[in-house]
Amino acid sequence: MEAEERLTNSEALTLLWSTAMLKMATDFVENFLAEHPNATPPNPIPQLRMVRFATFMVTTTSKTRPVERYLLEEVIPESDGLFTKLVHNGQAIPLCNLPYPRHLQAQWCCTLQHIQWELTHGLAFVTDYQGGNTIITDTQIITHPNLGNGLFGEGNVPDAHKNFRTDHRCNAWCQFLDLPREPTAFPGKLNITTVVSHTQT
């Protein structure tokens, strides 16, 4: 039961941080558009959000029945389009052979990764994007080794962080948003407290 509880807590934590990091990147885009009112994106910008979720616990006075914990996610409706995997957690590139417009959606997810990389100074980015046309679920978060092992479950693949700068391929949205032509190479040993304080200002 303890293993199931750890898994539930890990999945909930990943969804919570994925939601926050997606909003952080979306806020960056909205601020850019507000500061450049005459700029025209190369393609319509996909409107994505994370799946809504909640955790709950069932308790009992019985000494023999353990406490039960559950993770609930909203059902992605059929009206949101066919469930599609866009970017997996092993490599920060769009999956091959995605139909239009899902290929553009996958490219946008990679742009969001680039934004997250820059805003966190290379500490973390969201990956394993999948879902419908607007609702994303079952993401993973890739983190810098300095943050320690075991964060966000087994989907946190070390090589995905190590290879991000060479795997990521800047696209038209990256250029439109004036992101660095290549993801920034941050120092090997980061002052995490300084970075967190910087991203909160």
List the beta strands (DSSP E) in 121-198.
124-127, 130-131, 135-136, 140-143
Cα separations (Å) of 199 from 6, 67, 117?
Answer: 29, 38, 11
pLDDT score of 62: 72
In this prediction, residue 82 has a pLDDT band, given cuts at 50, 70 and 90, of very high
Six-digit token pair at 122?
Answer: 């290379």
User: Model confidence over 18-75: pLDDT tens digits?
Assistant: 999 999 999 999 999 999 999 999 999 999 999 999 988 887 777 766 678 889 999 9
Express each pLDDT in 97-148 by its tens digit: 999 999 999 999 999 999 999 999 999 999 999 999 999 999 999 999 888 8
Euclidean distance between CA atoms 2 and 169, whole angstroms: 41
- Please state whether beta strands 49-50 and 130-131 pair in parallel, antiparallel, or not at all (unpaired): unpaired
- CATH number (domain holding residue 105): 3.20.200.10
Number of structural domains (the chain) is 1
DSSP state, residue 89: T
**According to the model, what pLDDT value does residue 199 have?**
47
pTM: 0.89
Structural domain including 131 reads 2-199
Find the radius of gyration of the CA atoms of the chain: 18
Cis peptide before 101 (omega within 30 of 0): yes
CA atoms within 13 A on the CB side of 53: 24
Phi, psi angle pair for 120, to nearest 5°: -100, 5
Q: What's the pLDDT at 191? A: 53
